[in-house]
């Protein structure tokens, strides 16, 4: 574990947990953009939804619905894709940046309608989605927010890469996150980053970090008919020690910050906020999803968060 990040332990127990209500959007909001892999032009509208409905996708072109849950993930090779095994038509790709922004904004319930197979990539980060959600506004729903408390460590790995969820020493007090990456390309190299997830930390430290690819991979993907909507406008492209985007990086550590952004979105597919610590090295969509599957397969490793005492007594 030398040199790998360890999420910060809170130095003292947090103040007693207050009632936190579920939230949805105040009004619908929409946008149009291209899917980075399909190249398809997609219109997306994010609508308010009732308490306990969670985040649900609806393909208006197919009139089919898919709940945003880890056990509906069918592909993780390039992005996180929701679908139904054996039904290649019903797919919703690249959900991770949208899921991350919704989770960070504390939006528990929303219906996301799409007229195509993929969430628009926009600028490759979560910042434009956060802006949309800010414009829509949020309302509380008078039903307590649920949550999942990690009780025992759960770890998945693939060679040197791993992802782990651990309990918080002081009980349910949100999600601490730490990620490290190690790329041969000198423009990236070794990077590590950690934070306690909140709307503010997500907004200021992760939301603007863009997705990235190696120049040689982009060529391969194009040859396979993928990354059709990809461009220097929606992804960082790296060639050895060089970042090919004319404007360069937006921030120091943009690469590892984007990996954390992806993890926020992938872990949001738990369906409820996680309370614990996420520690990962070179983890991507596949390991993040494998981690949630391992967590929920081990009933002793987690429990539903009990209602705060004030609510339980009410």
Q: From the CA atom positions of the chain, what is the Rg in Å?
A: 19
Nearer to Zn ion, 254 or 262 (CB): 262
Q: Which is closer to Zn ion, CB of 213 or CB of 301?
A: 213
Closest contact distance (angstroms) between CB of 99 and Zn ion is: 10
With H, G, I as helix, E, B as strand and everything else as coil, classify residue 50. Answer: coil
Residue 314's CB is within 10 A of a number of other CB atoms, namely: 9
Per the residue annotation, which of 37, 47, 97, 285 is the catalytic one?
285
Which residues lie closer than 8 Å to 158 by C-beta, 6 or more apart? 286, 287
Q: How far is the CB of 148 from Zn ion (least distance, A)?
A: 23
Please indicate whether residue 285 is annotated as part of the active site. Answer: yes
Stretch that binds Zn ion, among 6-14, 256-264, 289-297, 299-307 (CB under 5 A): 256-264
* Residue (of 193, 166, 203, 163) closest to 260 by Cα position: 193
Contact 118, 94 (CB under 8 A): yes
Nearer to Zn ion, 7 or 94 (CB): 94
List 149, 164, 205, 262, residue binding Zn ion (CB under 5 A): 262
Nearer to Zn ion, 72 or 234 (CB): 234
Only one of the segments 33-41, 146-154, 206-214, 272-280 lies at the binding site for Zn ion (rule: CB under 5 A); that segment is: 206-214
Name which of residues 153 to 192 contact Zn ion (CB under 5 A): none
Binders in 112-131 for Zn ion, by CB under 5 A: none
Phi and psi torsions of 255, nearest 5°: -65, -50
In the shown chain, the binding pattern of residues 225 to 254 toward Zn ion, with x for contact by CB under 5 A and - for none, equals: ------------------------------
125, 211, 283, 289: residue in contact with Zn ion (rule CB under 5 A): 211
Element (H, E) at 195: strand 190-196
Per DSSP, which regions of 35-99 are E strands?
Answer: 41-48, 55-59, 64-67, 73-75, 81-84, 87-92
From 135, 119, 141, 125, select the one nearest 28 (Cα to Cα).
135
- Residues in contact with Zn ion by CB under 5 A are 211, 262
Residues annotated as catalytic (active site), given as ranges: 285
């Amino acid at each position: 574990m030398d040199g790998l990040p360890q999420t910060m332990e809170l130095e003292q127990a947090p103040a007693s947990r207050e009632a936190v209500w579920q939230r949805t959007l105040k009004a619908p909001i929409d946008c149009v953009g291209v899917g980075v892999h399909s190249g398809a032009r997609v219109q997306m509208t994010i609508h308010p939804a009732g308490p306990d409905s969670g985040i649900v996708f609806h393909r208006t072109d197919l009139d089919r619905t898919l709940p945003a849950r880890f056990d509906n993930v069918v592909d993780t090779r390039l992005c996180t894709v929701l679908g139904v095994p054996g039904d290649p038509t019903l797919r919703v790709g690249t959900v991770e940046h949208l899921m991350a922004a919704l989770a960070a904004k504390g939006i528990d319930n929303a219906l996301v309608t799409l007229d195509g197979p993929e969430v628009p990539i926009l600028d490759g980060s979560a910042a434009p989605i956060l802006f949309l959600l800010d414009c829509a506004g949020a309302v509380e729903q008078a039903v307590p927010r649920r949550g999942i408390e990690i009780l025992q460590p759960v770890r998945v790995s693939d060679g040197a890469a791993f992802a782990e969820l651990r309990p918080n020493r002081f009980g349910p007090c949100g999600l601490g996150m730490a990620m490290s990456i190690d790329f041969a390309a000198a423009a990236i190299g070794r990077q590590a980053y950690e934070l306690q997830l909140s709307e503010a930390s997500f907004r200021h430290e992760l939301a603007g970090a863009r997705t990235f690819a190696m120049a040689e991979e982009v060529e391969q993907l194009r040859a396979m008919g993928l990354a059709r909507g990809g461009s220097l406008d929606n992804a960082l492209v790296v060639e050895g020690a060089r970042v090919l985007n004319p404007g360069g990086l937006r921030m120091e550590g943009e690469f590892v910050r984007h990996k954390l952004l992806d993890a926020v979105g992938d872990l949001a597919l738990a369906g409820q906020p996680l309370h614990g610590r996420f520690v990962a090295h070179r983890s991507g969509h596949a390991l993040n999803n494998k981690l949630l599957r391992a967590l929920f397969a081990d009933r002793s490793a987690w429990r539903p968060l009990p209602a705060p005492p004030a609510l339980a007594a009410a």
